[in-house]
């Protein structure tokens, strides 16, 4: 079976699942889209034809991807079915986590293509279509369509173009503040913006008695405690 030509319409890419495998795939780089929306409200004012615009919050960036899994990409014992099983497992709460707990959430995933590293995201939609099979029915090729929604603030670029995060020690000094929840906010994303470390979301959860780090009420105020040194 011949693999898709990387010199033509396909190039190698990968999906990096937090706590899971790195899945190599083919990606068509001729076009991909990233979208983001903001919410604006206009309160009517008597005697005016254009009321002032009021910003009420932003939504996360969203990326739509069409990927191709092919058996020729995998080394060792991994199969196309193993890869798709890992993707579907990525959509589920990790085994052993109890319902209602602050850790009962699916893992984050990051899309990588060459020097392009996408934002850390949650997968909100996943569709797998198996396209080619062995005589025994084992799939050896599959089309994957997925929607990724931003879960952490995208990295900024330094003057030399490298990804540059925030220093956790410096960001920790920004504690003892208050954050007003906006659309798309999660505790890991708020912790990353505040402390430079998404894993410190439990500090915010404990301080505010939050049960689910991914489901926050827009407009609610969260206290941001200072990290202990």
Residue 46 belongs to some domain of the structure: no
Residue 3 belongs to some domain of the structure: no
Q: Tell me the per-residue pLDDT of 67-106, one tens digit each, with 9 for 90 and over.
A: 999 999 887 788 999 999 999 999 998 876 655 555 578 8
Residue 120 belongs to some domain of the structure: yes
Assess whether 25 and 120 both reside in one domain. yes
Assess whether 212 and 106 both reside in one domain. no
Residue 43 belongs to some domain of the structure: no
Residue 16 belongs to some domain of the structure: yes
HEC string for 128-166: EEEEEECCCCCEEEEEEEEEEEECCCCCEECCCCCEECC
Number of domains, the chain: 2
Residue 141 pLDDT level (bands cut at 50, 70, 90): very high
Assess whether 28 and 99 both reside in one domain. yes
Residue 139 belongs to some domain of the structure: yes
For all residues of the chain together, what is the average pLDDT?
78
Assess whether 174 and 93 both reside in one domain. no
Assess whether 202 and 117 both reside in one domain. no
Assess whether 19 and 126 both reside in one domain. yes
User: Is 46 or 145 the better-scoring residue by pLDDT?
Assistant: 145
Q: Of the ranges 82-96, 109-123, 144-158, which one carries the lowest mean pLDDT score?
A: 144-158
pLDDT of 158 higher than 80: no
Assess whether 115 and 192 both reside in one domain. no
pLDDT of 144 higher than 60: yes
Interval 219-229 mean pLDDT: 79
User: Is 87 or 6 the better-scoring residue by pLDDT?
Assistant: 87
What is the SS3 assignment for 77?
coil
What pLDDT shows up at residue 16?
92
Q: How far is it, in rounded angstroms, from Cα 201 to Cα 185?
A: 12
What pLDDT shows up at residue 124?
93
Q: Tell me the per-residue pLDDT of 38-60, one tens digit each, with 9 for 90 and over.
A: 888 888 888 888 888 888 788 88
CB 224 within 8 A of CB 174: yes
Show which of 103, 125, 150 is a domain's final residue. 150
Assess whether 142 and 80 both reside in one domain. yes
Assess whether 144 and 179 both reside in one domain. no
Residue 215 belongs to some domain of the structure: yes
Question: If you ran DSSP here, which 8-state letter would residue 211 be given?
Answer: S
Assess whether 87 and 191 both reside in one domain. no
Residue 9 pLDDT level (bands cut at 50, 70, 90): low
Assess whether 143 and 176 both reside in one domain. no
Assess whether 15 and 126 both reside in one domain. yes
| Enclosing domain of residue 123 | 11-35+59-150
User: Is 25 or 173 the better-scoring residue by pLDDT?
Assistant: 25
- The pTM for the full model equals 0.59
């Amino acid at each position: 079976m011949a693999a898709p030509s990387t010199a033509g319409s396909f190039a190698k890419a990968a999906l990096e699942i937090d706590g899971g495998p790195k899945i190599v795939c083919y990606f068509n780089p001729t076009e991909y889209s990233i979208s983001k929306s903001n919410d604006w409200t206009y309160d009517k004012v008597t005697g005016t034809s254009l009321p002032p615009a009021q910003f009420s919050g932003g939504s996360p960036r969203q990326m739509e991807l069409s990927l191709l899994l092919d058996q020729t990409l995998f080394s060792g014992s991994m199969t196309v079915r193993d890869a798709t099983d890992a993707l579907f497992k990525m959509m589920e709460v990790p085994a052993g986590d109890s319902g209602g707990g602050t850790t009962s959430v699916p893992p984050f995933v990051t899309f990588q293509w060459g020097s392009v590293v996408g934002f850390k995201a949650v997968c909100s939609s996943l569709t797998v279509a198996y396209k080619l099979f062995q005589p025994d029915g084992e799939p050896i090729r599959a089309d994957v369509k997925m929607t990724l929604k931003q879960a952490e603030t995208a990295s900024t670029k330094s003057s030399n173009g490298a990804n540059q995060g925030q220093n956790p020690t410096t960001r920790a000094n920004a504690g003892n503040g208050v954050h007003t929840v906006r659309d798309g906010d999660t505790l890991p994303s708020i912790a990353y913006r505040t402390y430079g470390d998404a894993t410190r979301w439990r500090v915010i959860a404990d301080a505010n008695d939050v049960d689910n780090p991914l489901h926050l009420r827009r407009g609610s105020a969260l206290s941001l405690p200072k990290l202990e040194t």
